[in-house]
């Protein structure tokens, strides 16, 4: 009985002590000023430590004092520590309480925060929509910082769809050409700028930024940012094919980002991705697969989807196919299809909407700024007169250019048809027709010497022989051909195949493939009336293209005349 009594007293004492400690902490928080609470909350990474307690005390204090502007800030602070549904509710409350606010930060701040929240939760469509609204209201209020934040956030979406050069341009501008970004923001911009530089192969510029970031974060004892830069250094080495160097630094990042919740979903996923790719580069397939499987586990747990996952699942599928493990191969095929569906949906939406709702309005804004500048210098009469004159001249110019272009297009189309007819009358083989139309560059000693420096004569001859088979059997019409798949088919590697095509065909792989398809189309459309009667999307598919637009663009680029005019001239010449 005594022991039970002592244990009960001990437990009650511990509960009382904990409650007392919490009460003291809450009292201390309530006694502090708004400025002190904000400073402590934002001094660390948001969501860590006792940030939620600070935010709750801040909001409670603000509500008790009926301070609307501080109540708004309390909702902002609290939304950082919540999951998506609850965070959105806090932002809805923020929108309600600031609907009549005269501050120039609202309502843009609400939409920018929502955009960041959706982006963090991988809903890029909603993120983009909110960034656009945030940019609109920031411009209306003339808030430079918010305009910058919107541009930077949209730049990251540009990076997502592969427009790395445009991303780098925006990030560089705000990192170096503005005076209203603080040091932390500039450091973050430089980190992302280095990543964009690697993507566009500006390796020296990227390395300088990474080294500066490492030194600066070490000097300021910013461990988190140090490991972010270290991870980027690993990617730099991976991109430079220094696989072991990449592994050495990335293993250190893995240890940090997977300890005590130090890493974000992005840091954790990309650290594993770069490690897996580095081991794949060293042909250590088992280790690469180990890291890629960890990524799949993370994706299942967090639902964090990003473009490079396609490479991860493709590698796993190929690995288990080679090892004859049908069950795991089927599992990763299924995972690939699910991830690919999400990526395809996001990519198509961002690719379609970003130019329409961001690029075009930005150009229109630029045009308006120029017009306004002209208005200050000239009277309205001269501006209107000038614009009318210019518009008439442009119309006349465009009209005559169109007529001239149309005439040139018809001439090109007629020459192509005549060339095809002459080949038919002369009973030339398909291979001769294609060779005549494609105008492949003649082989010279220079090209042979150039190729022989890196590829043996026997290998080069074998690859060229396989390419002759590829062309003669019209295998280029197969859908989904890539440099890698063709290299695998003819039992060589992508590097050798690319070099042979560049050297002996005088063009890169994509151009080579397009030219073969278009040359085939030129001949068959002229000779095959039934094929010509099919709808363009069907013809495009028959020729191996994914869609009508890709085919028509490739046709014009190759021939110099639009497909519609070529078809029209065929019908005209046939009727004549």
Q: Which among 266, 265, 292 has a CA at the least distance from the CA of 278?
A: 292
pLDDT computed for residue 439 by the predictor: 41
pLDDT computed for residue 351 by the predictor: 85
Enumerate residues 6+ apart whose C-beta is below 8 A from 329: 317, 320, 321
Structure tokens at 348: 């198509």
Q: 288 pLDDT band (50/70/90 cuts)?
A: very high
Share of the chain above pLDDT 90, in %: 59
Enumerate residues 6+ apart whose C-beta is below 8 A from 44: 51
Q: How far is residue 424's CA from residue 18's CA, in Å, rounded to a whole number?
A: 95
- Of the CA atoms within 13 Å of residue 372, those in its CB half-sphere come to 6
pLDDT computed for residue 5 by the predictor: 52
Q: What is the pLDDT of residues 63-116, one digit of tens each?
A: 999 999 999 999 999 998 888 999 999 999 999 999 988 899 999 999 999 999
Q: What is the pLDDT of residues 312-347, one digit of tens each?
A: 999 999 999 999 999 999 999 999 999 999 999 988
Which one of 69-78, 278-287, 444-453 scores highest in mean pLDDT? 278-287
Q: What is the pLDDT of residues 353-368, one digit of tens each?
A: 888 888 777 777 667 7
Enumerate residues 6+ apart whose C-beta is below 8 A from 537: 547, 548
Give the mean pLDDT of 57-65.
Answer: 91
pLDDT computed for residue 141 by the predictor: 92
39 and 58 in contact (C-beta within 8 Å)?
no
Sequential DSSP letters for 521-532? HHHHHHH-HHHH
278 and 250 in contact (C-beta within 8 Å)?
yes
Q: What is the dihedral of CA 14, 16, 21, 26, to 10 degrees?
A: 140
Q: 38 pLDDT band (50/70/90 cuts)?
A: confident
Q: 25 pLDDT band (50/70/90 cuts)?
A: very low
Q: Which among 548, 522, 545, 517 has a CA at the least distance from the CA of 535?
A: 548
User: 19-49 as b/e, with b when 16 or more CB fall inside 10 Å?
Assistant: eeeeeeeeeebeebebeebbebbeeeeeeee
Candidate from 46-60, 327-341, 556-570 with smallest mean pLDDT: 46-60
Q: What is the pLDDT of residues 201-240, one digit of tens each?
A: 999 999 999 999 999 999 999 999 999 999 999 999 999 9
Give the count of beta carbons closer than 10 Å to the beta carbon of residue 233.
Answer: 23
Q: 7 pLDDT band (50/70/90 cuts)?
A: low
pLDDT computed for residue 453 by the predictor: 57
């Amino acid at each position: 009985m005594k022991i039970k009594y002592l244990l009960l007293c001990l437990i009650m004492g511990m509960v009382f002590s904990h409650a007392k400690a919490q009460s003291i902490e809450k009292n201390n928080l309530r006694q502090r000023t708004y400025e002190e609470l904000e400073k402590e909350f934002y001094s660390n990474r948001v969501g860590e430590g006792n940030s939620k307690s600070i935010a709750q005390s801040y909001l409670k204090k603000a509500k008790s004092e009926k301070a609307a502007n501080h109540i708004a800030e309390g909702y902002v602070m609290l939304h950082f520590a919540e999951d998506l549904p609850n965070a959105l509710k806090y932002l809805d409350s923020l929108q309600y309480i600031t609907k009549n606010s005269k501050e120039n930060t609202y309502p843009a701040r609400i939409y920018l925060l929502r955009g960041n929240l959706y982006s963090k939760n991988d809903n890029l469509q909603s993120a983009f929509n909110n960034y656009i609204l945030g940019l609109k209201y920031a411009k209306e209020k003339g808030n430079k910082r918010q305009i910058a934040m919107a541009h930077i956030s949209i730049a990251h979406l540009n990076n997502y769809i592969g427009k790395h050069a445009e991303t780098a341009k925006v990030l560089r501008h705000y990192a170096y050409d503005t005076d209203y970004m603080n040091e932390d923001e500039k450091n973050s911009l430089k980190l992302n700028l280095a990543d964009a530089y690697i993507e566009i192969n500006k390796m020296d510029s990227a390395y300088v930024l990474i080294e500066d970031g490492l030194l600066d974060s070490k000097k300021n004892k910013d461990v988190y940012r140090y490991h972010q830069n270290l991870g980027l250094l690993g990617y730099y080495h991976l991109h430079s094919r220094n696989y072991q160097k990449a592994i050495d630094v990335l293993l250190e990042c893995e240890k940090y980002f997977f300890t005590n919740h130090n890493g974000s979903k992005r840091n954790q996923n990309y650290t594993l991705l770069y490690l897996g790719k580095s081991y794949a580069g060293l042909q250590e397939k088992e280790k690469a697969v180990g890291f890629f499987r960890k990524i799949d586990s993370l994706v299942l747990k967090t639902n964090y989807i990003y473009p490079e996952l396609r490479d991860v699942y493709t590698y796993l599928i190929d690995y288990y196919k080679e090892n004859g493990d049908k069950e795991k191969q089927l599992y990763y095929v299924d995972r690939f299809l699910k991830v690919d569906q999400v990526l395809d949906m996001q990519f198509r939406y961002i690719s379609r909407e970003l130019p329409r709702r961001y690029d075009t309005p930005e150009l229109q804004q630029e045009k308006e700024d120029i017009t306004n500048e002209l208005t200050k210098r000239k009277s309205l009469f001269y501006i209107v007169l000038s614009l009318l004159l210019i518009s008439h001249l442009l119309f006349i110019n465009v009209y005559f250019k169109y007529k001239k272009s149309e005439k040139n297009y018809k001439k090109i189309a007629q020459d192509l048809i005549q060339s095809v007819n002459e080949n038919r009358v002369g009973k030339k083989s398909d291979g001769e027709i294609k060779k005549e139309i494609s105008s492949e560059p003649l082989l010279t000693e220079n090209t042979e010497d150039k190729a022989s420096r890196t590829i043996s004569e026997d290998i080069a001859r074998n690859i060229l022989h396989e390419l002759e088979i590829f062309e003669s059997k019209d295998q280029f019409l197969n859908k989904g051909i890539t440099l890698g798949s063709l290299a695998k088919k003819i039992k060589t590697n992508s590097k050798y195949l690319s070099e042979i095509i560049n050297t002996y065909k005088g063009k890169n792989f994509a151009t080579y493939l397009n030219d073969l398809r278009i040359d085939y189309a030129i001949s068959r459309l002229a000779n095959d009336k039934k094929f010509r009667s099919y709808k363009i999307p069907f013809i495009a598919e028959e020729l191996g293209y994914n869609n009508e637009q890709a085919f028509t663009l490739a046709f014009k680029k190759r021939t110099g005349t639009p497909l519609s005019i070529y078809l029209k001239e065929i019908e005209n010449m046939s009727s004549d």
